[in-house]
Amino acid sequence: MGEEFYAIIKLVSGEEIMSLVMTDDNDGDPIVILQDPVTIKMINNQQGSYIKVKPWIEMSDDEFFIIKLDKIITMTETKNKKMIDLYNDYIQDDTTIDTYQPGGLVKPSSKMGYLSSVEDARKSLERIFKGIKES
């Protein structure tokens, strides 16, 4: 089993993933072991550049994945502290939506931005527009 390192990998499918990586010479058939792989995509718009991070395989609870070398175009070790910190922060952030309900319904909460009803918000905005102070 080889040494662990952070790497950005380009797969033959076109996907670019970042992961903590180990290599193993599995009896002459080398494999790459990925721990918590994520996809990283640069997004540019008028406000600036952003990095979108999401799980490589979104519906899996597994931490480790095995890839054969013939599925990899290139792999580069990254020592960029900002990228490694971004990756580790994403992996350690264990937030889940706990307001899920069967049937695909999600109950809005203040954490999701739900602060008031439409009617209450309308009244509040009218008071602000008219310059009326709240008592």
Residue pLDDT, tens place only, 65-75? 999 989 999 99
Measured between alpha carbons, how far apart are the two ends of the chain, in Å? 69
Give tens-digit pLDDT for 1-33: 678 999 999 999 999 999 999 988 877 788 899
Are 21 and 62 in a shared domain? yes
Predicted TM-score (pTM) of the model is 0.62
Residue 135 falls within a domain, yes or no?
no
CB atoms within 10 A of CB 10: 14
Q: Which domain holds residue 112?
A: 101-130
Are 15 and 32 in a shared domain? yes
pLDDT at 135 > cutoff 60: no
- The count of domains in the chain is 2
